[in-house]
Amino acid sequence: MRLMKTTLPCLAAALLALPLLAGCAERPDPTDPDAVAEFRQNNDPIEPFNRTMYSVHQGIDKVVLRPVAVGYRKVVPQPVRTGIRNLLGNLRTPVILANDMLQGQPRRAGDTLGRFLINTTLGLGGIFDVASSHFGVRGHSEDYGQTLAVWGVGEGAYLFIPILGPSNPRDLTGFGLGIASDPLTWVGQGVAVDALVGTRTGVTVVDTRESLIDALDAVDRESLDSYATLRSAYRQRRRAEIENRIGDAAPAAAGGTGFGVGTGIAP
């Protein structure tokens, strides 16, 4: 049974990655309990494959994502960027509200609904977060990955996905559910709607990367193994978010997996 638990995800991931078959992590020496404990703690049975994906990501990030984010920060003034982030957060309301309710958190659901009504009207469609600045109701993030976790679904093996960032099968499923359940995915068809959805996705990626410039720069500069640092930070931060321990640290615009949830590293 224990064997199945560790080898199955490995097998599945290896199948997915057939062309790139990088193999699974070396098993720890079973006679060394500390090594076995660490192997379990890291929860990364397909580490060599993940590290390959991480270097692919670093390549894309260096050439495209980071330069675009830096350009965005340079060209677009701070108040406008804040407005855009608020708007993206407001658009995430349906997903956050659904998950507040699925987790049986009526107070948080009330906050989310109240914020949506106030910010959409007084906040001019969500550009201004008046609910937070004038009514003291701060935004929080929720997603289907967190709900699955609250329901007792395990995270599964750690995954690093280029562009998206650190994840796992549970959070990835939640991410998919978030897209599928978002009314904006289904509002209609046609070029205009496609363009709007595409724009929103693009802006979300740029906004997320911009918010992480300082933290990821610090990791790249200071960590002796940035892959391991990000893995540890993602999993700790995710746990804190699931337990609603970090309060308002994650903005409402935060995504459900990957770099969207933030790195958990103070600048």
Q: Which of residues 208-227 bind another protein (CB under 8 A)?
A: 221-225, 227
Residue 44's identity, in one-letter code, is D
CB of 218 to another protein, least distance (A): 10
Q: For tokens 């007792």, what's the residue?
A: 152
CB of 141 to another protein, least distance (A): 12
Instruction: Please tell me the total number of residues recorded for the chain in this structure.
Output: 267
Q: Work out whether 42 is an interface residue with another protein (CB under 8 A).
A: yes
Q: Work out whether 233 is an interface residue with another protein (CB under 8 A).
A: yes
Identify the H or E element spanning 159.
strand 159-161
Instruction: Pick the piece of the chain touching another protein (CB under 8 A) from 131-139, 168-176, 190-198, 231-239.
Output: 231-239
Residue from the set 5, 27, 38, 63 that interacts with another protein by CB under 8 A: 38
Q: List the one residue out of 108, 113, 115 whose CA is nearest residue 129.
A: 115
Q: Which of residues 234-263 bind another protein (CB under 8 A)?
A: 236-237, 239-241, 245-246, 249, 262
The set of residues, in sequence order, having a beta carbon less than 8 Å from that of 194 and lying 6+ positions away, is: none
- How many CB atoms lie under 10 A from the CB of residue 155? 19
Residue from the set 1, 4, 34, 188 that interacts with another protein by CB under 8 A: 34
Instruction: Pick the piece of the chain touching another protein (CB under 8 A) from 96-104, 143-151, 168-176, 229-237.
Output: 229-237
Q: Work out whether 52 is an interface residue with another protein (CB under 8 A).
A: no
Q: Render 228-242 in DSSP notation, one character per residue.
A: HHHHHHHHHHHHHHH
Residue closer to another protein (CB basis): 194 or 243: 243
Q: Which of residues 160-199 bind another protein (CB under 8 A)?
A: none
Q: Work out whether 43 is an interface residue with another protein (CB under 8 A).
A: no
* CA 229 – CA 251 distance, rounded (Å): 22
* 3-class secondary structure, 46: coil
Residue closer to another protein (CB basis): 116 or 262: 262
Which burial class, exposed, middle or buried, applies to 34 when counting CB atoms under 10 A from its CB (0-12, 13-18, 19+)?
exposed
Q: Enter the DSSP assignment of 167.
A: E
* CA 71 – CA 206 distance, rounded (Å): 10
Residue from the set 8, 16, 37, 124 that interacts with another protein by CB under 8 A: 37
Residue closer to another protein (CB basis): 134 or 245: 245
CB of 54 to another protein, least distance (A): 12
Q: Are 227 and 51 in contact (CB under 8 A)?
A: yes
Residue numbers of the site for another protein (CB under 8 A)?
32, 34-35, 37-38, 41-42, 221-225, 227-229, 231-233, 236-237, 239-241, 245-246, 249, 262, 264-267
